[in-house]
Amino acid sequence: MGGFAARAAARMGWPADAIATDLSTLLRLAGPVVLSRLGIMAMGLTDALVVGRYSATQLSYHALGWAPTAVVVTVCVGLLSGVQVMTSRAVGEGRLHLAGAVLRRGLVYALWIGGASTVLLALLGPAFLHAMGLGKDLADGASRVLLVFSLSLAPYAVSVAATVWLEALSRPSPVMVMMWVANIVNLVIDLLLVPGRFGLPAMGAMGGACATLGARTALAVVLLAYIALMRDARELGVFDKPAPDRAAEIEQRRVGYGAGASSFFEVAAFSGMNIIAGWINPLTVAAYAIVLNVAAIVFMVPLGLSTATSVMVGSAYGARDLAGVNRAAALGLAVCTAFGLVVALAIWPTARLIAAGYTGNLPVIAMATGGVLLACLFFIPDCLQVVAAQSLRARGEVWLPTATHLASYALVMSPLAWLLAIPMHMGLPGILWAIIIASLMSAGLLLARFWRLRRRL
């Protein structure tokens, strides 16, 4: 393996020691980021488990109240990705004092995003839930939960800005630790408020929503405190009022607009798959939910790798190091491909066991088993497309990844899934083949664009 790597490095004109150094940096950054992202999933899973064990009815309130905020949460991460890109570029340029200006702009932007989202969901969310044709009790219960969830969006946005800023400075470990501390806070509040303990009233789904609010607020406060207490906070310009820089402000938001739009297209398209599954029958919805959850857990690793790769590409881009840009992206793509292959080979023979871990319903287990097997085919292209998209954004290509995601997932995947699943009577396999084809299309287009840019900055 070592000889193969050395020959590959020689063909690309990259020193083997540079590859070894970059690979070590990539893995060192990616590990804590992956664990942080898994912490985000764990928080939602904890709420669902505690509320679900208390009451199935309360779990339905919780799930429906959470659903509208989930889209906002995902888009929020995209909108604030400019903080990460601009910070890593400042590091690459050797202008560390600009990092504080990026953070301060990002925090103001985060408060605007979180505040506007809270107001929007508070005004329109309950009306939306009641207009969905739900029973009045169900819509009323979910609306109350939604209002509490909406209050957590501002602290969540602030925590995202602080998180991606620290990750761009190659300091992901503190974020990882604080995320899991926030999970402990979330669990404690869940156990106190959901069933009601120590004389507190049982709040059910409202207790779960309060736990999320408390954990997100605690995470934002602790992250900001950590940043303020960093030894080099003044050197980074954290406490300095940023000088007016219209071009930098526009660029920071522009990166976020592209990433936010991409996130919206992907979330909306994959949510639409639930509707198509619902048009078939309830068992298909349950089986698709299992497949999607397995894929989401797997996706946390390439998501972490894409963040680490983006930081390295952005730093090299800021330093005007073309070889470093290409090398960082190539390593990220190679590691992600290897991960996708390994996880597919691990899941393939255990698909039925995985499906059975979610439910005891035999027809759903059978359907989900086939779905998990098919999902193994899109793990690699899905890994590649997220790393390629983040790498392109880090080097200044903002709107092409967005256009690619729009074309692949909204314009191709959604109608193709309907065609294969409904008129062609393929059911769940038809939905999953549409996802496979869209992922291959997205990965191919993004990789082709990066290849075309390999000789210029």
Task: Write out pLDDT tens, residues 222-260.
Answer: 999 999 999 999 999 899 887 777 888 888 888 888 888
Residues 211 and 156: their CA atoms lie apart, in Å, by 13
- Please report, in angstroms and rounded to a whole number, the separation of the first and last CA atoms in the chain: 31
Q: How far apart are CA 383 and CA 368, in angstroms?
A: 22
The b/e string for 121-158 (b: 16+ C-beta within 10 A; e otherwise) is beeebbeebeeeebeeebbebbbebbbbbbbbbbbbbb
Q: What is the mean pLDDT of residues 184-209?
A: 88
Helix (H, G, I), strand (E, B) or coil at 197: coil
Cα–Cα distance measured from residue 410 to residue 230, given in angstroms and rounded to the nearest whole number: 43
Going through 328-398 in order, the beta strands assigned E by DSSP cover none
**Environment class of residue 320 by beta-carbon count within 10 Å: exposed (0-12), middle (13-18) or buried (19+)?**
exposed
Nearest of 455, 413, 452 to residue 433 by alpha carbon: 413
Q: 139 near 129, Cβ under 8 Å? A: yes
- C-alpha to C-alpha distance for 24 and 19, rounded to whole angstroms: 8
Which residue has tokens 């963040």?
307
Q: Is the pLDDT of residue 61 over 60?
A: yes
pLDDT band at 455 (very low <50, low <70, confident <90, very high): confident
Burial class (CB in 10 A: 0-12, 13-18, 19+), 455: exposed
pLDDT value, residue 119: 93
Nearest to 315 by CA among 39, 90, 151, 150: 90
Confidence category of residue 106, pLDDT binned at 50, 70, 90: very high
Residue type, 214: G
Boundaries of every domain in the chain:
32-243, 245-457
Q: What is the pTM of this model?
A: 0.81
Query: Does 437 score more than 90 pLDDT?
Result: yes
Question: Distance between CA 166 and CA 175 in Å, rounded?
Answer: 7
Mean pLDDT over 34-54 rounds to: 82
Cα separation, 300 vs 320, in Å, equals 30
pLDDT, residue 2, reads: 40
- Residue 132: band (very low, low, confident or very high) from pLDDT cuts 50, 70, 90: low
| Of 8-12, 24-28, 269-273, 441-445, highest mean pLDDT | 441-445
Give the dihedral sign, CA 108/114/120/123.
negative
Other CB atoms within 10 Å distance of the CB of residue 17:
9
Closest CA to 392 of 24, 81, 5: 81
